Structure 1
Amino acid sequence: MKPRSTGLLALAEELQSYILSFLPHQDILRCTSVCKTLRQTYMTSSELQYITELGGQQLLPVPDTDLDNHTSISKRLQLLRDKAHAWFKFDIHSFETISMPEQFHDAKTSLADGHLCLFNEDEQSAKIFPILPKPSQHKIERDWPSGSLCSIQNADSIEVFMDPAQNLIAIACMIADETLGMDDERLYIDLGALDGNDAVHPEAAGKTLFLSVLPRCEDGLYTIENWKLEGLGRHIAFRRSLLVHEGSYKFGEEIWFLQIWDWQKSTTSSCVLSDTIINPEVGESLDFCFLGNDRLLIVSRDLKLYSIEDLSQAPRLLACFLMPVSVTGIQCLLPMDNIAHSSQLQMQAQRTLWTSDPKNRILSLITRTRDATNSFTFVISTRIFFDPQAGVFDGMAEIPWECWGPSNARVFVHNWRCRVGVSGNRVLQAFPTTDATAEDHPEDMDYKLHMMDFSPLAVERRQGLGIVVTEPSTIEITESAETLTTSLPYVEVVSDRVFGADQVIDIWVDKDRIYLPKLNSEESDSDGIDELEVIEI
């Protein structure tokens, strides 16, 4: 109740705006809702509106960028508001098609930062190139002929990870000595620059990352089931699983090992996780993903959240989130524009003004029940993994599904032919146009694309196409005859274009486009992908 002459309201409007700019976006809105003077300050300040728009869309600004230096606040605000409404145009009839290089029709294919990344393990070759690049886009195009991928002598490349945002390629290489047992295979992670032949990536601590340990059991009693190489920002992780057949272990027991490096600081790491899964069913029984720079999620029968802030020691378990069903065949999907907020991402920083907030993204889990009678898509808000009130800092605490899941997730019945794409808070999934029966063959059914936006701002101020879904939805679990009810709000837009099963074999989506890989034509002897349909949003 101080006199106006000495209070905040007595300051010039520019100073009021400057002071308010230090507040979180929710507090800015609270201040402007209780004071007419501050409301007027807000309405005339593009900077304050930009801050609240970023917060409402759950985005983080990327500082010190070329765009940031040359784009006015008012222009950035307009771009951001346009972005919020872009999906509701959803015109998927206008598209372009690009051809896949013939030698990569059967390659492992991924999308990163507007680039197509291809790896042919049989040919030991790789390729990266931009997809219909825009004039402002930083473009990387490079081929690795057969045998040129791994710099380690007498080694085969088994997995490749490319990150154009950091000009990084990481290659998992295996050296096998026929005179030794399988336990004596040597595994390394080879690092390089995507845009050149430099011996060492300019930001890397060294050329090669070394594994600390490997899963072991008696010679000849297991086969390598699978492996995964993944990175985010300064972190790279490698997971290797062994499936045991006989011996002192139970038949079908899976032994897995995961190691994480800060590739910019050290070529070695003590950040190692390992465990055993008893009698895993056919299909992936384990997956993992990074949740920002300091958290890792292990997805198996339950969701285990780990802190990876200190890579000099094993990851620290923060909490275990119990799942409502016993699942296998797990696939963990994070947004394709999953960029770590880091000042070191200079290449990415030159091309964007904002990035999605790791604390406010959507995680999608593709699962099936143990008896294979049901498949589900779990759409989960990552905020639950950062919320102290949710009990994630209780160490070994197990959090029941009822305490965390229903209000932070949506669960959909998943057809094995339906694919899922994730971008920020948006999920794109193909659903059959009619309810399937036991006699229906998925390959003979028609599908439509459903775009679901789980951003609270989209739900609050939906415009144009789509409907707001806030009421709970319930599905039945055949295996246990139980029901599963979830209620995470979202906006849904359904395409009017109908797709055949062979047109939705996979779905990729980023902040600007939808990508639909196409199966090889009937004349081809291959079952791989030979075309990519690109739909601008």
Structure 2
Amino acid sequence: MKHNADFLSLAAELQSYILSFLPWQDVLRCSSVCKVLHLTYMSSSELQYIVELGGQRLLPVSSTDPDNVTSIAKRLQLLRDKAHAWFEFDKCSFRTISIPERFRHARRSITGGHLCLWNQEDLAKIFPILPKPSEQTFERDWSLRSSHLVPNTRTCNVFMDPAQNLIATAYATTHDHPDWQSQSDNENFYISLTTLDVGDIHPQAAGPVLFLSGLPGYENRGLATFGLKLMVLGSHVAFRRSLVIWDWQHSTTSNCILDETVDMRPDDSNDFCFLGSDRLLIARHDLKLYSIEDMSQAPQLLARFLLPLSAFNIPCCLHTDDSIARSSAQQMQIQQTMQTSDPKHRIICLSMTPPSTTTSSSLVFIISTNIFFNFDSVEELIMWKNWGSSNVRVFRHRYPCNVGVSGNRVLLLFPDSEVVTLPNRLPTEYRLRMMDFSPLAAERRQGLGRVVKESSTVYIDESGQSVMTSLPYVEVVSDKRFRYQNRLPRPEIWVDSDRIIWLNDDRQLEVIEI
């Protein structure tokens, strides 16, 4: 006798176990094949969790805390509830946080749930913004000069990383330093690596100071501090003067220096960001993708993605998730999270002023990072028509707007077109526009927001040049209007997985908790 044993004859538990090895898209496809597999999917929290993670572009992170054991069913419900809450951010709680008077005009950043401040007097402060009880927090007020191991130096830039209890401080010699020269043609730069909590030398650092003097591209640049961008992500430190990258946990010197042909200028005509722990993206009049997997040599050019703008030196700025290069292991050890966004499936934003315009309009390019991991490596030069349309959305606004990015969500704080603005006057009324680019966003909105799948055409300059883009998304525009009458060009905004933060007229942080 012959016995026909097929997949559908297996017990539901075995079917679920086998399906769990498939990518999330294939799990969904299998669930639509027949009633049996549909019932298997609907009765399995594990399969639904796999689909929810993939559809929201997240990676699972296992907790190391034995007391923090959350069931798959509970994780699934939390994911769905949190995704839905973002479409109702107008109804979420609203709080205000004051900035200390001496830091009201300081440079600031928000990362890891903390506000980081430092002023012209080299004073620094860090404190948490509405933390959860389980989160590790830092609160400290100190002088940056205490971390300068070289006397008579001046702070150029600071980067605080609460996730690693690390502060990197870039500083340079001043007139009072014996090695300083009157023409500033050979000033020395240093980056110190200390702990955020007490200011000791960081225990994981290869040494207390990273050295920059004598590296290519430093001659005849003067001591101006503008444009000297400093970024720390994971085990990498990057500093833009020319662009140098260190593996700070293994060496205090670097051979990972961008070739001079890249011509990184200390101004706002270019920017850079990490994409995962092994890739670097540089934006100027195009996008150049480099491999930094081998830190013993200069970055290797992987591909050049052309933008539909031919003008050089267009002021631009890259906006990314501040955890885009942190490994799952680091987040697991420090943040005790249950999931983290996937570096291969996130959103970055490139904002710029279009060329040949007589107004202060702005362009925002919203780009899926998927294109930077899935391209034909044989073609180093990739034309806009071969990558831009399906991987990008472009928006143009009459006035500059500010951008916040978290995973697959983008927030634009944009001038309200319904409010009349006098000639030669900056807008005073702003609204929030939230866009979710994750594949499951349309299903999780529960009737809220607007689904946008059709292509859109945007004119990018006054000559009539246009681009058509089609990256799908769901958007919600806030009913609440934000008044901003400060003489600065536009208000600042930050966003993470739990909150939206912006700086108001009174130099206070207004926080919308999701």
* Alignment TM-score, normalising by the size of structure 1: 0.86
Instruction: Tell me, in whole angstroms, the C-alpha distance in 2 between the residues paired with 1:52 and 1:363.
Output: 23
Query: What's the counterpart of residue 480 of structure 2?
Result: 497
Asked whether the equivalents of residues 366 and 375 of structure 1 are also in contact (C-alpha less than 8 Å), the reply is yes
Question: How far did residue 117 of structure 1 move?
Answer: 0.7
Query: What's the counterpart of residue 245 of structure 1?
Result: none
Identify if the C-alpha distance between structure 1 residues 271 and 13 changes in structure 2 by more than 3 Å, giving closer, same or farther.
same
Query: What's the counterpart of residue 501 of structure 2?
Result: 515
Question: How far did residue 191 of structure 1 move?
Answer: 0.7
Question: How far did residue 164 of structure 1 move?
Answer: 0.9
- Within 5 Å, which residues of 2 pair with 1:390-469? 391=376, 393-394=377-378, 397-434=380-417, 440-469=423-452
- Within 5 Å, which residues of 2 pair with 1:53-452? 53-66=52-65, 69-91=68-90, 94-120=93-119, 122-145=120-143, 147-176=145-174, 177-179=179-181, 181-199=183-201, 201-211=202-212, 213-216=214-217, 226-240=227-241, 257-275=242-260, 284-325=268-309, 326=311, 328-338=314-324, 340-350=326-336, 352-373=337-358, 374-388=361-375, 391=376, 393-394=377-378, 397-434=380-417, 440-452=423-435
Instruction: Tell me, in whole angstroms, the C-alpha distance in 1 between the residues paired with 2:153 and 2:454.
Output: 55
Q: Which amino acid aligns with 2:237?
A: I
Identify if the C-alpha distance between structure 1 residues 262 and 534 changes in structure 2 by more than 3 Å, giving closer, same or farther.
same
Question: How far did residue 502 of structure 1 move?
Answer: 3.4
Could you report, residue by residue, the CA deviation over 1:219-258 in whole angstroms, capped at 9, with x for unpaired residues? 5889665210012212111111xxxxxxxxxxxxxxxx11
The number of residue pairs the alignment matches comes to: 502
**Range that drifts further, 91-100 or 31-40:** 31-40
Report the 3-state secondary structure (helix = DSSP H, G, I; strand = E; otherwise coil) of the residue aligned with 1:443. Answer: coil
Identify if the C-alpha distance between structure 1 residues 68 and 425 changes in structure 2 by more than 3 Å, giving closer, same or farther.
farther
Report the 3-state secondary structure (helix = DSSP H, G, I; strand = E; otherwise coil) of the residue aligned with 1:365. Answer: strand
**Range that drifts further, 151-160 or 11-20:** 11-20
Instruction: Tell me, in whole angstroms, the C-alpha distance in 2 between the residues paired with 1:112 and 1:217.
Output: 29
Report the 3-state secondary structure (helix = DSSP H, G, I; strand = E; otherwise coil) of the residue aligned with 2:90. Answer: coil
Instruction: Tell me, in whole angstroms, the C-alpha distance in 2 between the residues paired with 1:32 and 1:412.
Output: 37
Note the aligned Cα RMSD (angstroms): 2.8
Identify if the C-alpha distance between structure 1 residues 160 and 416 changes in structure 2 by more than 3 Å, giving closer, same or farther.
farther
Q: Which amino acid aligns with 1:341?
A: S
Q: Which amino acid aligns with 1:46?
A: S
**Range that drifts further, 164-173 or 436-445:** 436-445
Q: Which amino acid aligns with 2:193?
A: L
Asked whether the equivalents of residues 419 and 429 of structure 2 are also in contact (C-alpha less than 8 Å), the reply is no
Unmatched runs of 5 consecutive residues or more in structure 1: 241-256, 521-529
Question: How far did residue 430 of structure 1 move?
Answer: 2.5
1:535 aligns with 2:476: no
Asked whether the equivalents of residues 237 and 248 of structure 2 are also in contact (C-alpha less than 8 Å), the reply is yes
Instruction: Tell me, in whole angstroms, the C-alpha distance in 2 between the residues paired with 1:343 and 1:94.
Output: 32
Question: How far did residue 445 of structure 1 move?
Answer: 4.4
Identify if the C-alpha distance between structure 1 residues 213 and 330 changes in structure 2 by more than 3 Å, giving closer, same or farther.
farther
Q: Which amino acid aligns with 2:277?
A: N
Question: How far did residue 205 of structure 1 move?
Answer: 2.2
Q: Percent identity?
A: 56
Question: How far did residue 408 of structure 1 move?
Answer: 1.2
Identify if the C-alpha distance between structure 1 residues 223 and 433 changes in structure 2 by more than 3 Å, giving closer, same or farther.
closer
Q: Which amino acid aligns with 1:197?
A: G
Instruction: Tell me, in whole angstroms, the C-alpha distance in 2 between the residues paired with 1:3 and 1:110.
Output: 67
Instruction: Tell me, in whole angstroms, the C-alpha distance in 2 between the residues paired with 1:452 and 1:67.
Output: 36
Instruction: Tell me, in whole angstroms, the C-alpha distance in 2 between the residues paired with 1:369 and 1:78.
Output: 44
Asked whether the equivalents of residues 384 and 408 of structure 1 are also in contact (C-alpha less than 8 Å), the reply is yes
Residue 470 of structure 1, aligned match among 436, 453, 462: 453
Could you report, residue by residue, the CA deviation over 1:25-70 in whole angstroms, capped at 9, with x for unpaired residues? 2232233333544443332222222111101110011234328951
Unmatched runs of 5 consecutive residues or more in structure 2: none
Question: How far did residue 322 of structure 1 move?
Answer: 0.5
Could you report, residue by residue, the CA deviation over 1:293-334 in whole angstroms, capped at 9, with x for unpaired residues? 111100001000111111111111111111101361111100
Could you report, residue by residue, the CA deviation over 1:355-399 in whole angstroms, capped at 9, with x for unpaired residues? 1111111111110123344421111111111113xx2x126x211
